[in-house]
């Protein structure tokens, strides 16, 4: 799964799944545009990527930091403009940025609904729209949306989050149909319970109950998700599009 010569842009790349994806894609040879709100954490990821190479390949041009709020359309457009200016193209887009604002539906504030939908779903639409021109021009591209098992099965107290992640699945399939003839694939990866800062904040009772429902008997790692993203970004996955790849230890099957 050699990605040498490819350029990837990863949103939410400062931590968790996004960070793991950025590191894995760089390990496979891709140059990576790192996008998130936390510049310090992004710089740490960029330094790790630079240090992982050798000679010229280990120089800072392997990864560049772009600080942006994925809930802001103007910042998204500016980020892609700067990334293309820096790298010349975008071959691989990983829409990973996501937030939670959990609350029961009867108590959920409109602002929390809007914030989650804007960051988790609308940003993926905007990022795809910005990246697609480069991909169409070169007649090659990989779009990978990070959805969630809760976008497939729902979750009490997460109507906004589940809706945003379910929306990503619909977006994935629609885009896959639109651009398939141009040798561009669009797929989704649906993690289950993964060890991240986001899942660390979930109630302990919820986590324990979830563990009982996972046939593999454990939570997943960010690297296990990143391995799937790297595969879908590669030539080996050229005939896969509009697919939702479950990475959930068997929590949801079928």
Active site residues: 161
Structure tokens at 235: 């030539």
CA R_g for the chain? 17
SS3 per residue for the chain:
CCCCCCEEEEECCCCHHHHHHHHHHHHCCCEEEEEECCHHHHHHHHHHHHHHCCHHHHCHHHEEEEECCCCCHHHHHHHHHHHHHHHCCCCEEEECCCCCCCECCCCCCHHHHHHHHHHHHHHHHHHHHHHHHHHHHHCCEEEEEECCCHHHHCCCCEHHHHHHHHHHHHHHHHHHHHHHHHCEEEEEEEECCECCHHHHCCCHHHHHHHHHHCCCCCCECHHHHHHHHHHHCCHHHCCCCCCEEEECCCCCCC
């Amino acid at each position: 799964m050699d990605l040498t010569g490819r350029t990837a842009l990863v949103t939410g790349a400062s931590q968790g799944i996004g960070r793991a994806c950025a590191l894995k894609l760089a390990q496979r040879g891709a140059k990576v545009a790192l996008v998130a709100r936390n510049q310090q954490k992004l710089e740490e990821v960029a330094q790790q990527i630079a240090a992982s190479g050798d000679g010229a390949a280990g120089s800072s041009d392997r990864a560049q930091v772009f600080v942006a709020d994925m809930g802001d359309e103007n910042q998204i457009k500016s980020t892609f403009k700067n990334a293309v200016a820096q790298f010349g193209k975008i071959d691989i887009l990983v829409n990973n940025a996501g937030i939670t604002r959990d609350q029961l539906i009867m108590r959920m504030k409109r602002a929390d609904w809007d914030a989650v939908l804007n960051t988790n779903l609308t940003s993926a639409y905007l990022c795809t729209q910005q990246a697609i021109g480069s991909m169409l021009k070169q007649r090659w591209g990989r779009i990978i949306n990070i959805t969630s098992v809760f976008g497939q099965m729902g979750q009490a107290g997460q109507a906004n989050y589940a809706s945003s992640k379910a929306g990503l699945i619909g977006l994935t399939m629609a885009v896959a149909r639109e651009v398939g003839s141009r040798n561009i694939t669009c797929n989704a990866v649906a993690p289950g319970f993964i060890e991240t800062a986001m899942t660390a904040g979930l109630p302990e009772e919820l986590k324990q109950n979830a563990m009982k429902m996972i046939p593999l008997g454990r939570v997943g790692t960010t690297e296990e998700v990143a391995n799937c993203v790297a595969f879908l970004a590669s030539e080996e996955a050229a005939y896969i599009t509009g697919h939702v790849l479950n990475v959930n230890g068997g929590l949801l099957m079928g």
